[in-house]
Copies of this chain bind each other. A is one copy, B any other.
Amino acid sequence: MRQETTVIPFAQNGLGEKMDGPDDATDLLRQISHGRISAGALARFVGLPLAPAPHPEWTRFMCRRLRHGDIPVRAGDPCQHLYVVIRGSFCTRTIDAAGKARVIAFERASDTLGLDGLASGRYTTESIALELTDVAVIPLAGLARPGYEGAALRTFIYRLLGRQILRNQAMMAMMAASRAVTRLGAFLFDWHARSDASLRFALPMRRTDIASLLGLSKETVSRTCSTLDRTGIVVMRRQRVTVLDREALHRTATGAIPSGATRSPVRRTSSSAPAHGVFAADDLVLLHRD
């Protein structure tokens, strides 16, 4: 029943990286039993190979359920655990050189929280759960000790770290894109690609936080969303997104810009009425606040 993990080759650039992700939701739930997840299941879940070990199922990590607004990682707290996101999403902030809070990432399933605490032993960031969220808790105490479930687990942690570095690099490449529509397009395409490649998904964070991450003003984010909506590439209604033209969105994200969009107001049929029939009564399932 538990097929051996297929090592997914990673794309050159973490942004477009196709996630292994959960095999499917029910399978994942099977892997989590009694609030714990085995090292093997976690490795498969995040899509990283776990080197052969005598008993990969013997090491099990605690799982914690967090609600909207919960803060597992707080700047200044001693770094005792890493958190691998199983379900849900987080917003991670840091204090920049000017003393202002800045969003530096939104974490989702298979991302890791708390890696910034490894260097000094204290977290430097603050991660807030944006919705109902499950995380696997990896204790750091004794991780380097020879006896700690052997070499396989350590290699796994190294890969986890390595991947986060990859994702940071992809993020930086994204933010260096000159135009707002390119940055936002890349952000949306990434969110789409990591939403099980579904064309419909929710953005659980505020426009202000997207703006902070991308280095834009919230007005520009809002306007650019409207432009993408108006040109028919996506439908954006607050937190609900439907991708209508995946290829065009990808072109937008890579800088092949559909520029010169007119600045006419987005026509809305009426309050919360479905546009093109893309939103139905079950829209609520898109975002569980808690």
Residues of A near any B CB (own CB < 8 A): 9-10, 12-13, 15-16, 48, 51, 75, 94-100, 102, 104, 115-120, 124-125, 143-147, 150-152, 154-155, 157-159, 161-166, 168-178, 186, 212-217, 253-256
CA distance A137 to B170 in the complex (A): 26
> Which single residue of chain B is at the shortest CB-CB distance from A164?
B165
Q: Roughly how many angstroms separate A41 CA and B157 CA in the complex, as a whole number?
A: 25
Residue of B nearest to A158 (CB): B118
For residue A169, which residues in chain B have a CB less than 8 angstroms away from its CB?
94, 104, 116, 124-125, 168
- Contact assessment for A172 and B173 in the assembled complex, using a CB-CB cutoff below 8 Å: no
Beta-carbon contact of A159 and B119 below 8 Å: yes
**CB of A206 to closest CB in B, whole Å:** 16
A165–B119 contact, CB under 8 A?
Answer: yes
Closest 7 CB pairs of A and B: A118-B162, A176-B215, A119-B162, A119-B163, A98-B254, A144-B151, A96-B173
CA of A61 to CA of B213, assembled, Å: 39
5 contacts between A and B (CB under 8 A): A13-B94, A94-B169, A99-B254, A102-B176, A118-B158
* Cα-based distance from A217 to B176 in the complex (angstroms): 11
A168 / chain B contacts, CB cutoff of 8 Å: 165, 168-169, 172
Complex alpha-carbon distance, A75 and B178, angstroms: 24
A266 shortest CB reach to chain B, Å: 26
Contacts of A162 in B (CB 8 A): 115-120, 161
CA of A239 to CA of B256, assembled, Å: 34
Q: Are B173 and A104 interface neighbours, CB within 8 A?
A: yes
User: CB within 8 A of A166: which of B119, B161, B173, B174?
Assistant: B119
A70 to chain B, nearest CB (A): 22
Given contact pairs A9-B120, A96-B174, A168-B169, enumerate 19 new A-B contacts (beta carbons under 8 Å): A12-B94, A15-B96, A97-B173, A97-B186, A99-B254, A115-B161, A115-B162, A115-B165, A116-B162, A116-B165, A116-B166, A118-B162, A119-B166, A144-B152, A144-B155, A164-B165, A165-B165, A165-B168, A176-B215
Chain B residues whose CB sits within 8 angstroms of the CB of A48 once the complex forms: 119
Which of A104, A173, A175, A256 is the most central at the interface, judged by chain B CB atoms within 10 Å of its CB? A173
Look across to chain B and name the residue whose beta carbon is closest to the beta carbon of A155. Answer: B144
C-alpha gap A35/B264 in the complex (Å): 67
A166, B213: Cα distance in complex, Å: 16
> Taking A117-B162, A172-B172 as contacts, is the C-beta distance between A177 and B215 under 8 angstroms?
yes
